Amino acid sequence: MQKKGMLIWNVLLSLVCVVLLYLQFSGGVGSLAGRKSASSLPSGPFRMAYFEMDSVAANFELVKELKAEMLKKEDSISVEMDRMARNMQQKYNYYQEQANTGVMNQAQSEAAGRDLKNLDDQIKGRKQALDAEYGDFVMRRQNEIKTKIETFLAEYNQSGQFSYIISYEPGLFYYKDKAYDITADLIKGLNEKYKK
């Protein structure tokens, strides 16, 4: 589940980058009246910085905390599901023993079948609820991390030296100039702000 969450996070960031690049090179969106004329665009070189998302994920303390919380929640879900499965297995064994010894009549056997079906439905329902709760938790925390990164990058680029700051994803970009790698600055700044 942890890998799934980080994969979703990386895909979302990649899609945002692609959309931003498309809008930059296609001239953006909106009416012609809302667009800036070529003479009002800032002069100077177009610069794009990037950061290595996997390095941020490995070194930003808040991401490390999220991973630990995710593992704790996954373990908790696993423990609860195992407990419910053991309880159902015990009931099944009990009913099976009763049926084998001939203690159960037809009505009791049908009631036992309904009881086991209800237990199975409860387990499935609880699993769905826990998975939904877990997914919501991961999404909220990932949005929190994304917001912290965006806020820091806005402060970092107050001078406006970069037109875009993107997250590098292997396979999406084929060349990167290390001169524009701000990963170390980003990790240092995020951790300093987080400690406060």
> By residue range, what is the domain housing residue 106?
2-27+44-195
* pLDDT tens readout for residues 44-89: 677 888 888 888 888 999 899 999 999 999 999 999 999 999 999 9
Residue 33 counted as domain residue: no
CA 178 to chain CA mean position, Å: 27
Indicate whether 36 belongs to any domain. no
Q: Structure tokens of 76?
A: 């908790």
37 in a structural domain: no
Q: Please say whether the dihedral angle defined by the alpha carbons of residues 169, 170, 171 and 173, taken in this order, is positive or negative.
A: positive
Instruction: State the burial class of residue 78 (Cβ atoms within 10 Å of its Cβ: 0-12, 13-18, 19+).
Output: exposed
Q: What domain count does the chain have?
A: 1
Question: For residue 32, is it within any domain?
Answer: no
Evaluate whether residue 164 is within a structural domain: yes
- pLDDT tens string 98-143: 888 888 898 988 999 999 999 999 999 999 999 999 999 999 999 9
Residue 34 lies in a domain: no
* CA–CA distance, 72 with 70 (Å, rounded to integer): 5
